[in-house]
Structure 1
Amino acid sequence: MKRLVHTTALAILMSMTVACQADADKAAAPTTGKTATAADSVTVESPFVRAVPPGQPNSAAFMALVNASDTEHSVKSATSPVAATVELHTHTNNNGVMEMRQVPQIDVPAKGRTELKPGGLHIMLIGLTQDLKAGEKAAITLTFEDGSTTTVDAPIQEVTPPKH
């Protein structure tokens, strides 16, 4: 009987040790849940690049940025293989004269959207490395404040200038 009690006590002690070790392993294991990045939270809708005549040095890209998260995000830069330089821009009215200005970032509000459109915010493609023909596509990579990126293949389209 004494031996049975001793064996039972040893079995209980061993099972408790195994259970404690399993809890410790679980606590030490890395979590499989990934923190969402800005690129995960912001989607691009209706992207397009303005077609330009052959030899034209510059163009622009437009799109809507939609943020599904509860956190504001911002595009800090962009790149494209179709241009030597890519800049974030806006148009401003300076005493009745519309001027383009580079901006440090394009903000996308939490649970909101930001429109990049002719006459407003846009992405400038400067020093084109190829002709931008309607019907083709141009890749544009957006880099967000957290370093995450998303690349879109924007259709190249003829754009009629806005009427005043």
Structure 2
Amino acid sequence: MTQRLLPRLLALAAASLVSSAALAQVSVTEPWIRATVPTQKTTGAFMQLKSAKAARLVEVKSPVAGRVEIHEMAMQGQTMRMRAVDGLDLPANQSVNLASGGYHIMMFDLQRQLKEGEQVPLTLTVQDAAGKRESVAVQVPVKPLAYKPAGAAH
């Protein structure tokens, strides 16, 4: 019986790997979170996202924050305003930049100070056109308060 069961288990394991690879369509590059001072309760997270298929970033979570939102900064008249959005479109095979001054991730009700050099877990939830959701776990480095990524606008 063991000899018959082993090939089936191997086939099942191989099928699940192929299935997982098919779902792993979103890549995250250059992620970072801005460090905080001891009593600070909010911070931002930034990164580039690229999806193999058209999808939408619909949720972000982290165990270090009570609430995490996808935000947009935009000019309204002469004033820069920040607001939460219900999601962010990820066009197929196009990089979407989450950066200061545009779309980004806001982390609220921080449980503790986030210090330069540590890694913070984020879980991104992405939904495809058929409504199927995928979670993407990312370990995000915390950068100094004054950090500016290469090529960032001044």
Band of TM-score, shorter chain: 0.7 to 0.9
TM-score, with length taken from structure 2: 0.78
The equivalent of 2:25 in structure 1 is 41
Amino acid at match of 1:153: Q
Q: Gaps spanning 5+ residues in structure 2: where?
A: 1-11
Higher helix share: 1
TM-score, with length taken from structure 1: 0.74
In the TM superposition, what is the alpha-carbon distance from 1:34 to its structure 2 partner? 2.4
Native 8 Å contact 2:50 2:95 kept in 1: yes
Which of 136, 147, 152 in structure 2 is aligned with 1:150?
Answer: 136
Amino acid at match of 1:138: V
Higher strand share: 2
Cα RMSD, aligned residues only? 2.2
What stretches of structure 1 move > 4 A for 4+ residues in a row? 161-164
Alignment length (residue pairs): 132
State the percentage of identical aligned residues: 33
Tell me the alpha carbon deviations over residues 135-160 of structure 1, each in whole angstroms, 9 at most, x when there is no partner. Answer: 11111000111221011110000143
Native 8 Å contact 2:45 2:105 kept in 1: yes
What secondary structure is seen at the aligned counterpart in 1 of 2:19? coil
The equivalent of 2:37 in structure 1 is 53
Tell me the alpha carbon deviations over residues 73-98 of structure 1, each in whole angstroms, 9 at most, x when there is no partner. Answer: 11100000110000000101111111
The equivalent of 1:118 in structure 2 is 100
Tell me the alpha carbon deviations over residues 33-63 of structure 1, each in whole angstroms, 9 at most, x when there is no partner. Answer: 52722xx111000100011111011001000
Partners in 2 of 1:152 and 1:130 — Cα distance?
19
Higher Rg:
1
